[in-house]
Chain A
Amino acid sequence: MGEFILKRLLLCVLILFFVMFIVYALMFSLPTSYVDTMARELATKPGSLKSAQEWLDELNAAYGFDRGIVGGYFTWLSTVLTGDFGDSWYYTLPVVEKFNDVIWFSVAMSLAAFVFETVIAVYLGVTAARKQYSMTDYTVTVVALLCISMPTFFLATLLKLIFSIKLGWFDLVGMQSRDYMLLSDFGKFLDLCHHMVLPVITLTMVGIGGLMRYTRTNMLEVLNSDYIRTARAKGLSEKVVINRHAFRNTLIPLITVTGTTLPALFSGALITETLFGIRGIGYTSYYAMINGDIPFTMFYLAFISILTLLANLLADVLYAVVDPRVRVH
């Protein structure tokens, strides 16, 4: 097992290297970057002895942009390997500092959505499987498919229309009320929670469908197995059959699946955060990306890629732990 994980980790490093190269190549080819703007700004500062072109050359040299895509990539890589991700151009803060400022909003939001999503999806999935081909089953299936099919932006806009504009229960965008500064610490926390309600609902609704269907399929599989029939034959009550025998066995694949989504809690919700103005990592990186902020984007994409690789690795390990047959291969 240890050797397997080590091998996979080395592979992950290799994959990451190439993924980041592709991303760097793309960022490199952005024609208008912040470097131009910075050079112009520096040149117009009082006391500047160099022209904009000289500043540009100097900055390009500092960031390794004068050495082509490959050279530039290795320049970036060598600074990153020393633990220095540089300063964000758009936010004019060290990348890691900005990241620390915003990541926890995303995590809190994703975690809340994850909890609601899991609880509701598992409950509905089990209910649907117990009453296969019933009205409940069809309703749950249709709702699940609707949630999967709903584009996040449309759902978010609909929620805003209903809850923010028509009912006026929540603010349209942002994460603080006007009187935020006057509130006590607990009041500030409640205010923040209040602003997180709509984004969390959006995230929950978007994510609920897949898990619900997965639960239903697995529950059906378990319910049709021989040991359930045996349990029923031996006269156990339906409650015991479902809760003790069927549900516990369904939990095994569910835990592996939800386990693999754990790293994604850190990746932020780009669309949802942007639409609701939640200054999490998704929102921050969206504006960094569209403004050509290479240091921040590279950091964020490296982070996301690591999370994806981690999720894959976790999935493999969890499968191996749960199902000993996998370990053989």
Chain B
Amino acid sequence: MSKNNGRRADSLNEALKRREAAQEQHVHNEGEPLALDDSERVKVLSPGRLVAKRFFRNKLAIVGLAILIFMFVFTFLFPLFYPYSQTQIFYKYGTMNTNYASATERTDFVSYALGEAVNVPSTVKNSINSYIIQMQDGGLDELQVTDAEGTMYTVNRLADTIYTLSADDLTGVAVYSASSVVAEYDSIHESFVYTVEEETIVPDDLDDEPEPADEAEEAGEGEAEAEDESAQAAAEQAAFEAAAAEAVAAGQDSFTSGGMSYSVNMVIKNRYEITRESSALIGLGDFEPEAGMAAAVEAAIAAGSANISWEGTPYRIAENNGTYFLCTIGEPTEALVASTLVFNSYDTSVQFDDGFKAEALLSAGSDGRFEHDGQSYSLDFDGETGAIFDASHNEIASLSTFVVRRYSGQDTLSIDFKDATQEVIEAMEEAGETKGSFVFPIQQTDDESNPVYDEEGNPVLVDTEITVERKTNEYVLSCDQTTYLIDIYAGPSAEHWFGTDGDGMDILARMMYGGRISLMIGFVVVILETIIGVIMGGMAGFFGRWVDTLIMRLVDIFYCIPTYPILIIMGALFDALKMDPYVRLVWMMVALGVLGWAGIARLVRGQILSLREQEFMIAQEATGMRSSRRIFRHLVPNVMPQLIVNATMSLGSIIITEATLSFLGLGVKHPLATWGNMINSVTGSSESMLKYTYIWVPVGLLICLTVVAFNFVGDGLRDAFDPKMKQ
């Protein structure tokens, strides 16, 4: 039995082996046609692989997929190896035309105080320029000015460029009085009523003199003077009264008394006003005005001149509140020296103090020798420019009205530089040009804008071309200097393949990070709107009745809301709230998701409505499956193909929406990079649009490519899922 069995088994094995061998041979023999029942004729593919196969047959879809893979690698992997970040700012050392120095012809006078002897009020100090202009206009050598308290000063011209202000030492000696009503005479009672003139105010420096007494009061109230003087005054008054009474009685219009002429006017009957016609000069204290002096004073006042000279002695007429005083002039005290001259020191480290400058300028009016801090100097001044020598006759400074300073205001420029500048500017003025240039050795700066010194510590000088340009009343001297700069709008280079943008950030890095944000927004929004859409659409389709009605009305509402206007309004809202860019990003994604779910809900509902009628759903209902399980395990997977196609297509449109919003400045904000705001930053004007084509065209192409790729892939997926569409 067993032997038999063994033989049969052997023969069966052999038969099988033969058949296998035959089959193997058959396979290798390709020329032979397959039999109808050959198993190789039927290749069974899973539905997924079938879709994949159909998808990969589509050339456009492959191109799209390749682009997308590149984009993901570019935006998510490249930044890991790329040395720069999206907000890194790059700097460079570049030669920039910087303002080196400025030059001006000084026309306003600067005053220097001469010691502490006289305290000149600031009102006088500040208006020294206007005094000098007044003098220049009138061609005056001397001008009397008065401060608010009545103190008098004299401004003297030493040279065209030097003026001094000195406090006058005036002593009031007489009061000048013009014609005035002195008394009223009552002819019935024969009494005199003297007009009490307003008490004259005497300037402070005249105070030590006695109060000017009215001629009429002099007798009655006369000061405690010598007896004969008061008697004389009384006599004078009596003579005046007698003369007046006589004139009134005679009906005369005028009379004279004591050398003065008076006029009589009738006010009302029996009442007369007596006016002194001739002006009078009333001496103060011991001063006795000589005859004719009053007329001279009157003439001087009428002529508006303040100085008169009487028998060789100079007098000054000082006016105070309408009253004129005649003063003798003492020795004036020089208080200020005002000058347009600038001290240019040969040794740039030495700065002269105001005292030195004042002394030096003052000496221009004398022999030119002056002392300061125990040292003696001498000044050689020719009216316009000058030089100062120290005791050993070394020139230590020069004077001119020309100010040349570093642009920062420091006076550290060498005198040679100043001279060269002045020469060029004078040449420019002669030629009537506003631009000029000269070459001058100035200290070299290295690549990092530090000054360069040689081994001995002396600055290394390099001949530099300095351009002089006139700007209104100032000359600006500029030259190329090495400066540390933000490297903005750099062209493509080895370090920055696409250059840098207006903030000095690397374009390529920003392209990567910008793409990352764009893709991230796309995915987050699509996922969000798909979730909302599937839940809402699924519920509407599955439950029907009032749930369906309610949800579909909601869908109608969201379908109707205009997306762009809403997003623009929200952008303006976020702008007004000055929201953080990251928070804003989140809100934008939420808004896009909430505005976009309606279409998906419609799609899902439609699919479920048609699926619900099919047999497998009835079978599920019969088995008593939970409705949530029926929706999400059995219905949604059947809607999946449409969802995937829809999601892929809407990824593209979301990226466009985001880019458009960012382009309008209402989406993702600086410093976060997105493709939209990168384009926006360089297309503001036609000039930059043309100049920075290498920035915005590649970025725009990146957007286009990504969106095209999503559309290609979405198209391919649709064709692959639903071959009926593609014949």
Residues of chain A having any CB pair with chain B under 8 Å: 11, 14-16, 18-19, 22-23, 26-27, 29-32, 132, 138, 141-142, 145-146, 148-154, 157-158, 160-161, 164-166, 172, 217, 220, 224, 270-271, 274, 285-286, 289-292, 297, 300-301, 304-305, 308-309, 312
A290 CA to B556 CA, complexed, in Å:
26
Chain A residue contacts of B570, Cβ below 8 A: 26
- Which of B561, B573, B715, B727 has the most C-beta atoms of chain A within 10 angstroms of its own C-beta? B561
Contact B663 A145 (CB under 8 A): no
Contact B569 A157 (CB under 8 A): no
Contact B564 A161 (CB under 8 A): no
Q: Which residue of A lies closest to B683 (CB)?
A: A157
Q: Given A145-B708, A301-B565, 8 more contacts at CB 8 Å?
A: A16-B560, A19-B561, A32-B576, A148-B652, A157-B683, A290-B572, A292-B576, A309-B560
Mark out the residues of chain B between 34 and 64 whose CB falls within 8 Å of any chain A CB in the assembled complex. Answer: 60
Knowing A18-B557, A148-B711 are in contact, say whether A289-B656 is a contact too (CB < 8 A).
Answer: no
Chain B residue contacts of A157, Cβ below 8 A: 679, 683, 689, 696, 700
Chain A CB within 8 A of B258 CB: no
Contact A19 B557 (CB under 8 A): yes
Knowing A19-B557, A30-B573 are in contact, say whether A290-B656 is a contact too (CB < 8 A).
Answer: no
CB distance from A74 to the nearest CB of B (A): 18
Contact B557 A22 (CB under 8 A): yes
Knowing A165-B686, A290-B568 are in contact, say whether A151-B704 is a contact too (CB < 8 A).
Answer: yes
A301 CA to B566 CA, complexed, in Å:
9
Contact A30 B572 (CB under 8 A): yes
Mark out the residues of chain B between 517 and 573 whose CB falls within 8 Å of any chain A CB in the assembled complex. Answer: 553, 556-557, 559-562, 564-566, 568-573
Report the 8 A-B pairs with minimum CB-CB distance, sorted nearest first. A149-B707, A154-B700, A149-B708, A304-B562, A153-B663, A290-B572, A151-B656, A145-B711
Contact A152 B565 (CB under 8 A): no
Contact B708 A26 (CB under 8 A): no
Mask, B345-387, CB within 8 Å of A = 1, is: 0000000000000000000000000000000000000000000
A207 CA to B560 CA, complexed, in Å:
20
Chain A residue contacts of B703, Cβ below 8 A: 151, 154
Contact of B704 among A27, A138, A150, A309 (CB under 8 A): A150
A127 CA to B483 CA, complexed, in Å:
63
Q: Which residue of A lies closest to B568 (CB)?
A: A289
Mask, B57-75, CB within 8 Å of A = 1, is: 0001000000000000000
Q: Which residue of A lies closest to B591 (CB)?
A: A26
Mask, B676-706, CB within 8 Å of A = 1, is: 1001000100100110010011001001100
Chain B residue contacts of A291, Cβ below 8 A: 572
CB distance from B705 to the nearest CB of A (A): 8
Chain B residue contacts of A297, Cβ below 8 A: 565, 569
8 residue pairs from A and B, CB less than 8 Å apart? A31-B576, A149-B711, A151-B700, A151-B703, A153-B663, A161-B693, A270-B564, A304-B562
Contact A26 B660 (CB under 8 A): no
Chain A CB within 8 A of B608 CB: no
Chain A residue contacts of B561, Cβ below 8 A: 19, 22-23, 305
Contact B565 A161 (CB under 8 A): no
Contact A145 B715 (CB under 8 A): yes
Residues of chain B having any CB pair with chain A under 8 Å: 60, 553, 556-557, 559-562, 564-566, 568-573, 576-577, 652, 656, 659-660, 663-664, 666, 676, 679, 683, 686, 689-690, 693, 696-697, 700, 703-704, 707-708, 710-712, 715, 725, 727
Contact A304 B565 (CB under 8 A): yes
CB distance from A22 to the nearest CB of B (A): 6
Contact of A161 among B560, B659, B690, B708 (CB under 8 A): B690
Contact A141 B727 (CB under 8 A): no
Contact of A30 among B60, B569, B656, B700 (CB under 8 A): B569
Q: Which residue of A lies closest to B555 (CB)?
A: A15
Chain B residue contacts of A161, Cβ below 8 A: 689-690, 693
Knowing A146-B708, A151-B704, A285-B565 are in contact, say whether A26-B666 is a contact too (CB < 8 A).
Answer: no
Q: Which residue of A lies closest to B649 (CB)?
A: A148
A274 CA to B661 CA, complexed, in Å:
13
Knowing A220-B727, A285-B565 are in contact, say whether A165-B704 is a contact too (CB < 8 A).
Answer: no
A26 CA to B572 CA, complexed, in Å:
11
Chain B residue contacts of A289, Cβ below 8 A: 565, 568-569, 572
Contact A26 B573 (CB under 8 A): yes
Contact A164 B565 (CB under 8 A): no
Main SS of the interface on chain A? helix
A152 CA to B679 CA, complexed, in Å:
13
Chain B residue contacts of A304, Cβ below 8 A: 562, 565
CB distance from A159 to the nearest CB of B (A): 11
CB distance from B583 to the nearest CB of A (A): 16
Contact count A vs B, C-beta below 8 Å: 131
Contact B690 A165 (CB under 8 A): yes
Knowing A151-B659, A271-B660, A301-B562 are in contact, say whether A15-B553 is a contact too (CB < 8 A).
Answer: yes
Contact B656 A26 (CB under 8 A): no
A309 CA to B560 CA, complexed, in Å:
7
Contact A15 B556 (CB under 8 A): yes
Q: Which residue of B lies closest to A32 (CB)?
A: B576
A166 CA to B689 CA, complexed, in Å:
11
Chain B residue contacts of A160, Cβ below 8 A: 686, 689
A285 CA to B569 CA, complexed, in Å:
11
Q: Which residue of B lies closest to A161 (CB)?
A: B689
Contact A149 B679 (CB under 8 A): no
A16 CA to B553 CA, complexed, in Å:
11
Chain A residue contacts of B676, Cβ below 8 A: 151, 153
A305 CA to B559 CA, complexed, in Å:
9
Q: Which residue of A lies closest to B656 (CB)?
A: A151
CB distance from A140 to the nearest CB of B (A): 12
A291 CA to B561 CA, complexed, in Å:
20
Chain A residue contacts of B711, Cβ below 8 A: 145, 148-149
A41 CA to B7 CA, complexed, in Å:
116
A301 CA to B565 CA, complexed, in Å:
8
Chain A residue contacts of B712, Cβ below 8 A: 145
A258 CA to B715 CA, complexed, in Å:
22
- Which of A27, A148, A172 has the most C-beta atoms of chain B within 10 angstroms of its own C-beta? A148
Chain A residue contacts of B704, Cβ below 8 A: 146, 149-151, 154
Q: Which residue of B lies closest to A306 (CB)?
A: B560
Q: Which residue of A lies closest to B573 (CB)?
A: A30
Contact of A154 among B559, B568, B679, B715 (CB under 8 A): B679
CB distance from B562 to the nearest CB of A (A): 5
CB distance from A232 to the nearest CB of B (A): 16
Chain B residue contacts of A148, Cβ below 8 A: 652, 707, 711
CB distance from B137 to the nearest CB of A (A): 43
A146 CA to B707 CA, complexed, in Å:
8
Q: Which residue of A lies closest to B554 (CB)?
A: A18
CB distance from A103 to the nearest CB of B (A): 16
Contact A29 B573 (CB under 8 A): yes
CB distance from B539 to the nearest CB of A (A): 19
Contact of A224 among B565, B679, B727 (CB under 8 A): B727
CB distance from B186 to the nearest CB of A (A): 62
Chain A residue contacts of B689, Cβ below 8 A: 157, 160-161, 165
Contact A26 B569 (CB under 8 A): yes
A149 CA to B312 CA, complexed, in Å:
105
Contact of B553 among A14, A142, A153, A305 (CB under 8 A): A14
Contact A27 B690 (CB under 8 A): no
Chain B residue contacts of A146, Cβ below 8 A: 704, 708
Contact A19 B715 (CB under 8 A): no
A309 CA to B663 CA, complexed, in Å:
29
Q: Which residue of B lies closest to A26 (CB)?
A: B569
A13 CA to B710 CA, complexed, in Å:
37
Contact B565 A270 (CB under 8 A): yes
CB distance from B254 to the nearest CB of A (A): 63
Contact B708 A300 (CB under 8 A): no
A31 CA to B579 CA, complexed, in Å:
13
Knowing A145-B708, A290-B572 are in contact, say whether A305-B577 is a contact too (CB < 8 A).
Answer: no
Q: Which residue of A lies closest to B571 (CB)?
A: A290
A11 CA to B554 CA, complexed, in Å:
12
A305 CA to B703 CA, complexed, in Å:
30
